[in-house]
Chain A
Amino acid sequence: MTFQKDIGRDCPRAWEAMPWVLQGDASPVQGAWLNMHLAECQACREEFAQQERLRAALALSPELDIDAEAGLARLLSRIDEADPQQAAPSRRAASSHWMTRALVAAVLVQAVGIGVLGIKLGGDGAGHAAAPVYRTLSQEAAPAAPGSLHVVPVATLKVAEWNTLLRQYHLRVVGGPNDVGAYTLVSTDGNAPTPQTLQGLRADPGIRFAEPVTDTP
């Protein structure tokens, strides 16, 4: 007996309905009709059995065993590398505005305080030349305040990127981060950072704020 001989008028209709009945997407009427047809048509019954086996075989777990977590980690790295500023575009847009203002205000207040303190100490130093000067170890190691910078990196800046920036502009960290996340930087060669350095830092997307300490009123 061949399949060809078994084909009846309803067989093409049954053939077409099989995948959707198997999926459970066919209407109850269509499902009932197919069952009736299968009961009286051996060829379609065999075809339907093979379709069921095909579906069962396709439902087996894939032979390729690929680690989802490793793939996800690579995807997130790719997103980071492409543009760290795009990590959370909308939220960042909404929150960065007031956050930047707050940080700028806080750093300015701090810079003013340091300036006033510096003037006061300078005045005191002139009148008390013989008095012993108290210094901490960190003050000993760091160059004088003039020429240093206050810099606030963005929260998403990676350590490697931060280090690259420091190398690029020949800077090193001598203090911070303070309460508002500002670092104090000085030139590695002991000279005051150039205006180009300041300009470059301000233009860098990884830097939220950069101001010279001595230029602040």
Chain B
Amino acid sequence: MPPEPMSEAELDADAVDRMLLQRMSAGDRAALAVMYRGYHGRLVRFLSRLTRRTDVVEEAINDCFWIAWQKAATFQGDSRVSTWIMGIAYRCGLKALRQHGSEPVDEDSVPEDRTPSHDPGEDREMRDWLGKGLDRLSADQRVVIELVYGIGHTLDDVATIMQCPVGTVKARLFHARVKLRNVLPGLAGERTINREIVP
């Protein structure tokens, strides 16, 4: 499916990001701080699909902005700034995982205050439901799911972020969806899916 042109809101957000990046290239730390705060939540969620280790996520985020600060002047504008940032974060996340090991933290080692303070029963149930499904996916599949359903990137964006062909992204997305469908209890009971529907 060909991607739709960017919406007005997306264009506005990208224009702001480009302005911030331009100021960063001139050494403006205030612009860096705005960019950092603006992307922090998104990056925490994105990188937490790669690992649940807080230290690794923190390191990857700071490595990402360290690179963005240094490379701001080299941004070519071929993609949205957000796509560029997410791509850097993805590679920093993989690098941090290689350096620290990809073993997830033990549930019991996650401090109480690390969990969201407001987590009503319905949210908790949904988190558990999602966690069960994502645990069955590969890291790359989790990343694709987050980028498409969580953040709302197009296939082309995801291909740019993960530096792979669009076909690879499509395959990862498809297999992730099949696994999720087979693993997660659906709204109308569990089913299996036929491979014939591969696009």
Contact = CB atoms under 8 A, between A and B. Distances in A.
Contact of A54 (B25, B44, B149): B149
Given A26-B1, A75-B62, A11 B197 contact: yes
B127 A75 contact: no
A127 interface: no
Interface in B39-86: 40-41, 44-45, 48, 52, 54, 57-58, 61-62, 65-66, 69
Interface in B119-171: 123, 126-127, 129-130, 133, 145-146, 148-150, 152, 154
A55 to B, nearest CB: 5
B62 A61 contact: no
A26 B180 contact: no
B4 A27 contact: yes
A39 interface: no
A7 B37 CA distance: 46
A46 B66 CA distance: 44
Contacts of A116: none
Contact of B58 (A51, A71, A76, A91): A71
Contacts of A24: 7, 152
B12 interface: no
B66 A78 contact: yes
A2 B191 CA distance: 7
A205 B1 CA distance: 55
Contact of A25 (B4, B54, B116): B4
B118 to A, nearest CB: 8
A57 B127 contact: yes
A46 B187 contact: yes
A20 B173 CA distance: 12
Interface stretch (B13-21, B28-36, B91-99): B28-36
A71 B54 CA distance: 12
Interface stretch (A82-90, A145-153, A172-180): A82-90
Contacts of B149: 19, 22-23, 51, 54-55, 58
A3 interface: yes
B67 to A, nearest CB: 11
A25 B66 contact: no
Contacts of A7: 194, 196-197
Nearest to A20: B1
Nearest to B146: A58
A20 to B, nearest CB: 6
B130 to A, nearest CB: 4
B113 A4 contact: no
A163 interface: no
10 contacts: A4-B193, A4-B196, A25-B4, A46-B186, A58-B130, A62-B44, A62-B45, A65-B113, A65-B116, A72-B33
Interface of B: 1, 3-4, 7, 25-29, 32-33, 36-37, 40-41, 44-45, 48, 52, 54, 57-58, 61-62, 65-66, 69, 110, 113-116, 123, 126-127, 129-130, 133, 145-146, 148-150, 152, 154, 173, 177, 180-181, 184, 186-188, 191-194, 196-199
Interface of A: 2-4, 7, 11-12, 15-17, 19-20, 22-27, 30, 43, 46-47, 49-51, 53-66, 68, 71-72, 74-76, 78-79, 86-92
Given A22-B149, A66-B54, A88-B27, 9 more contacts: A3-B191, A3-B192, A11-B197, A19-B149, A53-B187, A68-B36, A74-B62, A75-B69, A79-B29
Sorted from nearest, which 7 A-B pairs have the closest CB atoms? A88-B27, A58-B150, A57-B130, A68-B40, A62-B45, A4-B194, A90-B26
